[in-house]
A and B are shown apart, each in its own frame.
Chain A
Amino acid sequence: MSLATASLGRARVDLLDPLEASRLGGLEVLTQGVVEGFLTGLHRSPRRGFSVEFAEHRMYQPGDELRYVDWKILGRNDRLYVKQFEEETNLRAMLVCDTSRSMAWTGDPEHVLPKLAYAQRLVAALALVLLRQRDATGLITFDDQVRSITPARARMTHWRQLLRVLDGLTPGQGTAAEPALRRVVDLLRRRGLVVFVSDLLLDRVLALRALQFLRHRGHQVMVFHIMDPAELTLRGPAEARFEDPETGSSVILRPKDWAAVYQQRVEGVIAEWERDCRRHDIHYHRVTTDTPFGIALRHALARSAGFA
């Protein structure tokens, strides 16, 4: 038993400080610990569908597709029965993760995880939860273009593939969410769940338009707005040049002079996102990177329960 495993056995890892929790082990171990600590059980979808796992027979009724007629029973009993199958997955989920340069930033490297590291662990935990529910789960990563696409699968082994993708994430440069969200439409042909994880330092109009489009296609959309605590307030030397790591644009100012209006502006941006998301029935969650993973998952699971 590894140290991480031992630690996981003693405490609710999902409620630990994210940075502390991330020190307990790699992405897989951590995520398992988080999910096991948090998850109380799987649920099964009451809906029946036509999938690979046989459920029961019933009498043929006019209008049933002939391909589901059980010809063997017809041969033995001369009666028309059709086969019903239990759906292996009751949901298809696509996780969309922002890997732009701004996501690699942390205001306090000693005490707070970078936003990308936090997003990696959150996405891995979400994927594990969904897969355990037998929900097919896929992953799209993007920065200024789509970097990787992992189609949705329901097998548990698929989680390790997702972990490999998440493990290999490196921060890109800019942020362009719209192409990635548009790709979701191609990958989710039926109604499903789209989880968008990003710091939302992007073109808000384009991103909202893409999210709105997904809603119109019948998908449930969930937005995790990942924020570093240091982004909520403006601090720094008496006077400094503040430089955007993505665009290189900069501004020279005295934080003391601008802290108040900056905080006001950030709160305004968050309020705008909340308002716009609510208007389009998109679930918006603001998560700071010092929030324990379990809290963030509770938001997600509470929402996903709505899909059950």
Chain B
Amino acid sequence: MIGFLHPWLLAGLAAAGVPLLLHLIARRDPPTVEFPAVRYLMDVTREHSRRLKLRNWLLLLLRTLLIAVLVLAAAGPSAAIRQAGSHGPTALVVILDDSPSSGAIVDGTPRLTELRAAARHVLERATPEDALWLLAADGVPRRGDGPALIALVDSLKPSSLRLDIGAALNVAGGILAVDKRPGAITLISDVQASAVSPAAIRVPLLVIRPDAPATPNSGIARLDPGPQPWTTDGGAVSVTVTGDSGRTVPVSVRLGEHLHRQALAAIGGSATFSLPGIPAGWWPLRAELDPDELRTDDERIVAVRVAPVARVSCPRNDRFLQAACDVLLRNGRIQAGSDVTLGTLGEGASVVFPPDDPAELGALNRALARRGVRWAYGALAPSAATTDSGALIGREPVTRRYTLVRLEKEDTLGGVRGVVATAGGTPWIVRDANVVLLGSRLDPAWTGLPLSARFMPFVDALLNRLARGEVQLLNGAPGAPVMLPDLITQVVEGGRRWPVEGGAAFRPPVPGLYFLLAGVDTAGVLAVNIDPRESRLAMAPDAQLRQLWPTASISGLRASGEMAYTGAGRADLRGLFLWSALLLGVMEVAVASGGGRAE
């Protein structure tokens, strides 16, 4: 396949039509010349016209070819060559898949060791004229010469970051687009079926993949500790297992360092564990499988918040809230007390509804301001709306609501800090300090929520989490961005700390538990585990790869030494084209001058 260093110059091929155009223009309207001896001309044209026509067409062809060949030569043509060690200057991106799946042990050897060997083999063939990049699962393209990148390859270990191969190919294509050398991509991967995706690449792609798939694997796809926080009475845990076959595997869970339970779960199925009560606090909860060929997916961790239930002062004159409080009291989700005041602004944490009488709104706003709350009730919203779907609440109709107005100017980071839920695009539930403001009363005259099945969990979350300043537990994958709650100022994992800005994205580097701090208080936990898709080691079939990436040629790890540069090795064809142009020029002169000789 012929490629070009300056493909935009190929637009000049249009100039090859100039001789034909001139021929047609000249043919269309030649000037008339009066000439008495036309009979002599007609005699000779009868005799020679066939030969001259042939000559003229030959000249037209030669001139057209001459221009076309010159334009092609100017565009810097090069062609793939198959001779070993003789490739032309090449821009090569090597994508080495060091995602968690590369840690699988195959025949006693980590898969990544084989992939690294293949990458070394490719990079050892590089010449100083080549431009080389190495792209691993972290998505950062690293530029370097052959030895430097080989050293980098040797230092790679199975990463906890997932590699989306389609996205990586697009990144590689973007890198090569700005380099004038003929480009090529070499993908060295275990090509998990779950990792491949379409990519728009126009350069040759060599896929080096293992000849045989890895042994069937199993891993923990999900660990769900249920609603948080747990009470000191304990809670339930659900574990989902994923993998390449339908067999049953033993699963164990461990809360903290002591509490341990075990059960059997089929791959693709779940196991549920009931754990007894433990003291209040943050507890790590681990689910584990027996060791297999891929160890990194055999354990999954989340955090469990164990806390006494909220002591709530419920309103006596609101039948829906009263009923909700009764249910929660009976189920032990709240206790009677004064930690949280529901409905009005109390001394401590409060969940505040707008008053029935608009005349009381001014006094309420002044009381909120005295408490240092930076939100206030504004005017009644002019029209009904629906709550915007979120983690706390689904879509519920809101027929009557007050607008909630932030009293201070927004910070420059964008977004409205403290907004928990919105209705019609405007704040509907906000929180500042330990005060939660609702734009509507929890009454069917204001919103349909009290009549909804979500009402009880909503009031539970309102009292046990929101009012007490706690946020939901977050889950994430290594390298994937997680939006942090507004009040978070610091992230802590082990001994590492990251100062953060609430509302911004945070990319956890490795699996583990990341505690989210608001000042000195722990406001939540981010549980980071590897992407469960990494547990499925089944390889994508070659046909699928060719369908996804039409420019791909596919090779096994053993053959990679011979074929690694097949796509990238290119010979400079400019000389050939220029010699061809010279030959065409000589032929043109010979034919043109030969036609003028008398016979």
* A residues with CB within 8 A of B: 101-102, 105, 199, 201, 228, 231, 234, 236-247, 249-253, 256-266, 269
Contact = CB atoms under 8 A, between A and B. Distances in A.
Nearest first, the 3 A-B pairs at minimum CB distance are A102-B36, A260-B598, A244-B38
B30 A258 contact: no
Contacts of B27: 239
B331 interface: no
B227 to A, nearest CB: 92
Contacts of A249: 38-39, 42
Contact of A253 (B36, B37, B41): B41
Contacts of B45: 251, 253, 258
Contacts of A264: 44, 598-599
Contacts of B56: 257
A266 B42 contact: no
A102 B38 CA distance: 11
A242 B597 contact: no
A240 B597 contact: no
Contacts of B597: 260
Given A237-B31, A242-B38, A250-B38, A262 B44 contact: yes
Contacts of A236: 33, 35
Given A234-B41, A260-B598, A265-B43, A250 B32 contact: yes
B424 interface: no
Given A101-B36, A236-B35, A260-B599, 14 more contacts: A105-B34, A237-B33, A240-B31, A240-B32, A241-B32, A242-B41, A243-B32, A243-B38, A244-B36, A258-B41, A258-B44, A261-B48, A261-B598, A265-B44
B178 interface: no
Contacts of B40: 262, 265-266, 269
| Most central of A101, A201, A259 by chain B CB within 10 Å | A201
A256 B592 CA distance: 10
B37 A241 contact: no
Given A201-B37, A244-B35, A238 B26 contact: yes
Contacts of A234: 41
A247 B36 CA distance: 9
B33 A256 contact: no
A263 B43 CA distance: 12
Contacts of A228: 36
Interface string B267-300: 0000000000000000000000000000000000
A237 B55 CA distance: 19
B358 interface: no
Given A234-B41, A261-B599, A262-B41, A105 B30 contact: no
A243 B33 contact: yes
Given A259-B596, A260-B596, A264-B598, A252 B38 contact: no
Contact of B598 (A245, A251, A263): A263
B33 A242 contact: yes
A239 B24 CA distance: 12
10 contacts: A102-B36, A105-B34, A239-B30, A240-B31, A242-B32, A243-B32, A244-B38, A244-B39, A251-B41, A258-B45
